[in-house]
Amino acid sequence: MPSSATFTGMTNKPRIYLALYHRARHSFKEENVLRRFHWAILIRPKASKRRNVDCSVFDATTCFHFAPDGKVLNPNQEWWFRVRDHYDPLEDYRFLGAIMIGKLPEGKTIADVDVLLEEIELPQPCFDGTEDYTIWAADAVRALMERKWADKMNVPKLFRECVMLGNGVLGALSRDEPLREGDRWRNFTTRED
């Protein structure tokens, strides 16, 4: 179902980010560094009094999916495409940070992003029994680049930058160091933030 979020009254284009989340024990023990994290596409307004509350986030996940009546729609934790509107990443304890990859073009809406990302094939379980969130996220970045909604970039390098950001935030959190909001946001584009 297309997202209902809009950014009314804004003259600035919403920013598109690759967002990174910790996966509890997996973020510290997983040998494959990319699997240590959960990945998502996050849309954030540039200028808004409610900048973080007005975000939308899109991901592929295996977490339980509940129907309005409370029934679990994926009892075996199959992959599904999730959209969260009016989302505040700074209120999500798993959110580590995000790197800007583009700006939503004039005339495009969150619903357009929703339609594009919903068409991306969901990951298949890996033959070793692990889950790989990076496949869907990398495909999402490439789809956004094809539409020119994200800048053309080296996707493996982008993921390495995100991992460095995530490791830095995890390190600061483990040392009880205070984090400012700006410590979690980076720009990987040639555009101004």
pLDDT of residue 192: 66
Q: Mean per-residue pLDDT for 77-100?
A: 91
83 forms beta bridges with 58
Q: Show Cβ contacts of residue 98 under 8 Å, excluding neighbours closer than 6 positions.
A: 17, 18, 19, 20, 42, 44, 89, 184, 185, 186
**Residue 111: exposed, middle, or buried by beta-carbon count in 10 A (0-12, 13-18, 19+)?**
middle
Render pLDDT for 54-73 as a digit per residue (tens, 0 to 9). 899 999 988 889 999 999 98
Three-class secondary structure of residue 12 per DSSP: coil
Q: How far is it, in rounded angstroms, from Cα 84 to Cα 4?
A: 10
pLDDT of residue 62: 84
pLDDT of residue 30: 53
Q: How far is it, in rounded angstroms, from Cα 151 to Cα 154?
A: 10
Q: How far is it, in rounded angstroms, from Cα 98 to Cα 149?
A: 16
Hey, where are the domains in the chain? Answer: 15-187
Please, what is the average pLDDT of the chain?
A: 84
102 forms beta bridges with 16, 150
Q: Measured at the alpha carbon of residue 184, what is the angle toward residues 55 and 139, in degrees to the nearest 5?
A: 65
Cβ atoms within 10 Å of 67's Cβ, excluding its own: 8
pLDDT band at 156 (very low <50, low <70, confident <90, very high): very high
Q: Measured at the alpha carbon of residue 5, what is the angle toward residues 150 and 193, in degrees to the nearest 5?
A: 35
The identity of residue 86, as a single letter, is H
Q: Show Cβ contacts of residue 101 under 8 Å, excluding neighbours closer than 6 positions.
A: 16, 17, 18, 141, 144, 150, 151, 153, 158, 188, 189
